[in-house]
Amino acid sequence: MNECTCRKKQKSLADVKREAKEFYNTIGQSHADFKKGQKVKIIVPCQDFHMWYGETGTIISTKPGYLKIHVRLDEPREYENWRLEKFYFDAEDLIDLKSYEKIGPKPDETI
């Protein structure tokens, strides 16, 4: 495989994120599509310099605007000196867990 062909097959995190939003039809979702207590799945690979691997969580609160949906992670992340239990997301980064279970994973989803 020559260098040009190889380079064309690479995807950026932005490409993968856009593809996930298109596949799960989350483009155009807003905070109003989510309710406190709702179970969700994170469908994007990266948000605010944190990598996500298909984690699930529960909506704590929602407000209009970018990164205004507060999610408590089902499985908090443990780091050496701190613990990540909650995180803010955009509405397009999430899918209702029941909807995800009906659709299933993206064909190229490895998580």
Name the strand (E) or helix (H) holding 97. Answer: helix 97-103
User: In this model, does residue 107 exceed pLDDT 80?
Assistant: no
CATH placement of domain 28-103: 2.30.30.50
Tell me what pLDDT residue 2 has: 46
Summarised one tens digit per residue, pLDDT across range 28-85 is 999 999 999 999 999 998 887 788 888 999 999 999 888 899 999 999 989 899 999 9
- Beta pairing partners, 77: 84
Tell me what pLDDT residue 8 has: 58
Residues 6+ away with beta carbon under 8 Å from 66: 90
pLDDT band per the 50, 70, 90 thresholds, residue 109: low
- String of b and e for 1-35 (b: at least 16 CB within 10 Å)? eeeeeeeeeeeeeeebbebbbebbebeebebebbe
| Domain boundaries along the sequence of the chain | 28-103
Q: Which strands form 69-78's sheet, in the order they lie side by side?
A: 83-89, 69-78, 56-62, 39-42, 94-96
Other CB atoms within a 10 A radius of the CB of residue 36 amount to: 10
Place of tokens 């701190």: 82
More confident: 7 or 109: 109
Q: What is the pTM of this model?
A: 0.82
